[in-house]
Structures are given as structure tokens and as C-alpha cells.
Amino acid sequence: MDEEEEDLVEPPVPANLPNLSIALKTFAEFFKINEDLITVAAQVSVPQKEEVEPLAEWIAALSEEERNDFLLRVVKGEALVGMQLLKRLRELFSIQKIDNSSGKHQRLLSELLASTKQQEIYRQQQEQLDAQQAKIQKLEALAPREDKVWEDVFKLIDLKQAKSYDQAISHLIDLRDLAEYQGKLKDFQACIQQIHKDYSTRQGLLSRFRKAGLI
């Protein structure tokens, strides 16, 4: 980045940026706009309720001549009269929008990029933490069913089918993770060695063991 780019200032930040509409989310995904950059930009976006236009009051405030003119055009079936009336009302009575782009919030491009990098690191750490917590919850739910899962493993192996082998391997991977979580990895490895010995002629099964890193 050259010095001129570093001195670039962020454009005005719109209100309600943290709450992107589905259309804007789709737009950002399609054009691959950095989600961490959006998060950083949204930090200075102020919340703003959508204004409800008092159309009835505006129409009542029109001169009788202008109201009658619009009514006559409606009766005649002219196209786009509603849009033209709305445009006219907004020209006459629309409330001035609040400017949310105060200069005190405008940051340099270099500052935005540095904050974006920090946000990326934070997001990745949070994702890892969430994944770890989800895994722990899964293992704690598995623990009371450990004996039953072991029974299912042997039943699946005895079916001598490729699909049942795959299911058995999936169970064994979960049991290995549980054993590691409980500090019983040696006991699990002993069971795996016994399975390897008892089913030494099952090449399809053993190849799956090796692929899964169980042996």
C-alpha cells in the first residue's frame, strides 16, 4: 500500500450496518466483500429506526386544487399517479434525514485494514472456541452411552458390509475422542489392538482403520 492509499478516508457509514438485509448479505457474498471489514465498518454505524411517513397528514396539507387534480387523474386511470403523488408529497414535506457520517468517525484506510486483521484473528479464535465447546457437549452426551456404542461397533463389524464398516469407524472415532477427553486413551488403544488381532483377515475393515488413523 502506498502513502496515498494509506491517507484514504472511509466513506460515510450508513445507519443500521450491523443488521444487513438478506439482499445486502447476498450482495456482499457475491462480490466477496470481506466480512471482517464489514464488521469493523459497522462499529461506528448508529442504530436508526425507519421513519414512518405521515402520508395522510401530508395529503391533508395539500391545497384543495392539487388534491382534486390528483383525484381526477386517478379516476381517469392515468398510470403512475400514485408514484407521482408520493414524489410530490416528499418534495413538499419530507423530513430531512439525519447525517450519520460525522467526520469524527471517519478512519484512514490503514486503520481500517489493521482493525480488520484484528477482527479476523478474534473471529477465528471465537470459531475455534465455539467448535471446542460443541465437541465437549457432544462427548459429554456420548459418555453415558459408551458401552452401547461399543456394542454397536461390533454388531456393525459382524455385518461384513462396506457401509457398516464405515459406520463402525465413525463410532470408533467418536470413542477415541471421548477416551482422549477422559484421559483413557491407552485403554482405547488396547481395545483397538484387540480388534485388529481378532479381525486380522478383514482387509476392508483394516484399511479403514489405517485411513482413520486408528492403527
Query: pTM for this structure?
Result: 0.56
C-beta separation of 37 from 45 below 8 A? no
The HSE-up count of residue 201 (CA atoms within 13 Å, CB side) is 2
Q: What's the CA gap between 19 and 39, in Å, rounded?
A: 10
**Distance between alpha carbon 76 and the CA centroid of its chain, in Å?**
51
* pLDDT tens, residue order, the chain (215 aa): 555 666 788 888 877 888 888 888 888 888 898 999 889 988 888 776 666 788 888 898 888 899 999 999 999 988 888 889 988 888 888 754 444 444 456 788 888 899 999 999 999 999 999 999 999 999 999 999 999 999 999 999 999 999 999 999 999 999 999 999 999 999 999 999 999 999 999 999 999 999 999 98
- C-beta atoms surrounding 153 within 10 Å: 21
